[in-house]
């Protein structure tokens, strides 16, 4: 299924792409930071005279500065969000009259970038509306984060702004989410990883990523579900169980809300008709 859309919001332009294997060379524009929502093996990139070959996990973050990046040998269906913070916003975040250059980044895990991309992805597929106020907040948060971590201006031990999680704690929480996507998860579990009370954690996590903890967990579950469905080795009920949801009807609703598609839309043609009819396959899904 092929889809491409572009959104322009104050201080931020975003591009969403879903398409079958490219079969050629595609290009990432300058000064962008983005997320791949698909899994790939042996992808090749070329930029600034350097050629690299590597694997991509769903949710990996990539970025480039003034030099474009050329992608090739993408042999699986692809889905991605690229975000282009405005130069004015980057200068304001850096407190400089010169636009800071985003450093090249490949295959990183970053819950702030991932949270922003997940929100924009839902807007692109028509599953949510992002008004100008929220879009502006996303743009400012992203520019501040990019300048602080990916423009050579921040120190490794830099403190997070007041009311937000620092990078160490955020990465720790994100790792717990990734490790336990197939298990029941509660806000208490995630708060414990951040050594905060559940109430305080929920507030600062949303301020940091733009998503409430349960929204972030659900987005990651639907991302993993999409990757499993594309592989075609598991039935839709098996995929639902694999991402921690035991109610098939609930899983299908959540999947459509996050992707704009039904789970069966991503199944390979040879396996799409193999799922049993009906929705219910057990008790309600987990709380997270």
Model pLDDT for residues 100-156, shown as the tens digit of each residue? 999 999 999 999 999 999 999 999 998 888 999 999 999 999 999 999 999 876 544
Residues of the chain with CATH 2.60.120.10: 3-158
What pLDDT sits at residue 19? Answer: 86
Structural contact between residues 91 and 144, judged by C-beta atoms closer than 8 angstroms: no
Structural contact between residues 248 and 237, judged by C-beta atoms closer than 8 angstroms: yes
Domain 164-288 part of CATH 1.10.10.60:
yes
What pLDDT sits at residue 212? Answer: 97
Residues 157-170 pLDDT 10s: 566 677 899 999 99
Q: How many Cβ atoms from other residues are within 10 Å of residue 288's Cβ?
A: 22
Of the chain, the percentage scoring pLDDT greater than 70 comes to: 90
- Of 28, 111, 31, whose CA–CA distance to 74 is shortest? 28
What pLDDT sits at residue 284? Answer: 28
Q: Which tops the pLDDT comparison, 50 or 283? A: 50
Residues 167-221 pLDDT 10s: 999 999 999 999 999 999 999 999 999 999 999 999 999 999 999 999 999 999 9
Is pLDDT of 234 > 60?
A: yes
CA distance 230 to 76: 9
Mean pLDDT, the chain, whole residue set: 88
Match 């000064």 to its residue by tokens: 31
CATH number of 3-158: 2.60.120.10
Give CA 251 to chain center in angstroms: 19
Mean pLDDT of 57-69: 94
Confidence of residue 269 (pLDDT cuts 50, 70, 90): low
Is pLDDT of 238 > 70?
A: yes
CA distance 207 to 198: 14
Q: Which tops the pLDDT comparison, 288 or 173? A: 173
CA distance 159 to 91: 20
Q: Which tops the pLDDT comparison, 24 or 66? A: 66
Is pLDDT of 69 > 90?
A: yes
- Its pTM stands at 0.87
Residues of the chain with CATH 1.10.10.60: 164-288
Confidence of residue 233 (pLDDT cuts 50, 70, 90): confident
CA distance 235 to 213: 28
Instruction: Give phi and psi for 110, each to the nearest 5.
Output: -150, 110
Q: How many Cβ atoms from other residues are within 10 Å of residue 279's Cβ?
A: 12
Give the containing element (helix H, strand E) for 60.
strand 60-64
What pLDDT sits at residue 154? Answer: 55
Write the secondary structure of 245-273 as one string of H (helix), E (strand) and C (coil). CCCHHHHHHHHHHHHCCCHHHHCCCCCCC
Is pLDDT of 280 > 80?
A: no
What pLDDT sits at residue 286? Answer: 36
């Amino acid at each position: 299924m092929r889809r491409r859309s572009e959104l322009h919001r104050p201080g931020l332009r975003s591009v969403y792409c879903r398409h079958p294997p490219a079969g050629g060379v595609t290009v990432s524009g300058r000064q962008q930071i983005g997320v791949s929502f698909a899994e790939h093996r042996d992808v090749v990139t070329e930029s600034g005279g350097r050629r690299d070959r590597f694997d991509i996990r769903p949710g990996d973050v990539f970025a480039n500065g003034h030099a474009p990046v050329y992608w090739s040998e993408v042999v699986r269906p692809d889905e991605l969000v690229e975000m282009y913070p405005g130069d004015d916003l980057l200068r304001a975040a850096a407190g400089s009259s010169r636009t800071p250059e985003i450093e090249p980044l490949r295959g990183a895990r970053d819950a702030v970038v991932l949270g922003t991309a997940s929100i924009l992805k839902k807007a692109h597929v028509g599953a949510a509306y992002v008004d100008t106020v929220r879009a502006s907040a996303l743009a400012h948060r992203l520019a501040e984060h990019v300048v602080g971590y990916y423009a050579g201006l921040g120190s490794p031990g830099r403190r997070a702004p007041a009311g937000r999680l620092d990078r160490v704690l955020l990465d720790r929480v994100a790792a717990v989410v990734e490790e336990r996507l197939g298990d029941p998860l509660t806000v208490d579990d995630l708060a414990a990883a951040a050594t905060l009370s559940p109430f305080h954690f929920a507030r600062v996590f949303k301020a940091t990523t733009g998503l409430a903890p349960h929204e972030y967990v659900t987005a990651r579950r639907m991302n993993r579900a999409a990757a499993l469905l594309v592989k075609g080795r598991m039935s839709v009920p098996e995929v639902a169980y694999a991402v921690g949801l035991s109610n098939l009807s609930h899983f299908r609703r959540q999947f459509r809300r996050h992707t704009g598609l039904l789970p069966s839309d991503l199944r390979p043609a040879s396996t799409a008709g193999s799922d049993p009819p009906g929705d219910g396959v057990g008790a309600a899904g987990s709380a997270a």
